[in-house]
Amino acid sequence: MTDWKALVGQLNALLRLRTTITGMKLYERVEDMEAVPRIRRPTAIHTADQVVGMAARLGWTVGITADDLVGTQCRAVLGLAPQDEAWRSGREFVGVWHATPEDARRRQEALHVVPHGRYRAMAVSPLESGRLDPPDICLVYATPGQMILFINGLQWQGYRKFDWSVVGETACADSWGRALATGEPSLALPCYAERRYGGVPDDEMLMALPPNYLPIAVAGLAALAKNGLRYPIAPFGIQNDARAGMWGSYAGK
């Protein structure tokens, strides 16, 4: 079994994250979601961004069904509502987020979503609580400086190039939608809705990824730290002779 508290502690020590690392899990039965220890159920209608924010910003464990979410967009990304023709049309976004019906449809069709039909509920919780053991994915909010080192940690051993996309509005499809649908690490620039309703600060990005990637990132970050490549990244100075700072990291030892 994974010691989630220790894993989160290691990651926080290496990156000094200021936002709670969150787990997310989908459930086929509402009863299983409701059986999660200390689960909170909403008494109002929310966006999925708000529900995630309750875990990431307040440290709550929260469970929802489609009925707790506003509109079809949040529900559809999580697979809790059909991605039918009405949804694919994106007609409510025409003249608001997009100039034409064709633009709105193309955006909807570009989203990564969980296929509809299997799941009936979702829960989020601070990862270190261990209440979603294991979660389907983890959500790591970080500044760009923290995030690039996190990615470097993932690439320390077994290197791979990561290719990510930006859908624009509904960027949760780039993060938890893509990670849930593909099982791959998924980086996103949180969108207007995530920042307005989910409380995501201007300077944070979001990485969603299955939990088995976290130990890989921690091991990679620890190895980089031993090489002096650690957070915070100390500015060297734009007018200094770069050679003194390059030894060991770029120009050899």
The answer to whether residue 250 is domain-embedded is no
Report pLDDT for 246.
85
Indicate the average pLDDT of the chain: 96
- Residue-wise pLDDT for 82-132, tens only, equals 999 999 999 999 999 999 999 999 999 999 999 999 999 999 999 999 999
Confidence of residue 252 (pLDDT cuts 50, 70, 90): low
Confidence of residue 251 (pLDDT cuts 50, 70, 90): low
- Residue-wise pLDDT for 170-214, tens only, equals 999 999 999 999 999 999 999 999 999 999 999 999 999 999 999
Report pLDDT for 248.
72
The answer to whether residue 242 is domain-embedded is no
The answer to whether residue 49 is domain-embedded is yes
> What is the DSSP code (8-state) at residue 142?
E
Confidence of residue 244 (pLDDT cuts 50, 70, 90): confident
The answer to whether residue 160 is domain-embedded is yes
Q: Which residues share a beta bridge with 140?
A: 207
% of the chain residues with pLDDT over 90: 94
The answer to whether residue 248 is domain-embedded is no
% of the chain residues with pLDDT over 70: 99
> Which residues form the domain of 167?
4-231
Q: Which helix (H) or strand (E) holds 89?
A: helix 85-89
Cβ neighbours of residue 204 closer than 8 Å, sequence gap 6 or more: 19, 141, 142, 143, 190
- Residue-wise pLDDT for 143-176, tens only, equals 999 999 999 999 999 999 999 999 999 999 999 9
Report pLDDT for 51.
98
Higher pLDDT, 15 or 1: 15
- Residue-wise pLDDT for 17-52, tens only, equals 999 999 999 999 999 999 999 999 999 999 999 999
Q: Which residues share a beta bridge with 100?
A: none
Report pLDDT for 16.
98
The answer to whether residue 18 is domain-embedded is yes
Task: Note whether 47 and 69 are within 8 A (CB).
Answer: yes
d(CA 67, CA 43): 11
Q: Is the confidence at residue 220, as pLDDT, over 60?
A: yes
Report pLDDT for 247.
77
> How many structural domains compose the chain?
1
In this prediction, residues 228-251 reach a mean pLDDT of 88
The answer to whether residue 152 is domain-embedded is yes
The answer to whether residue 224 is domain-embedded is yes
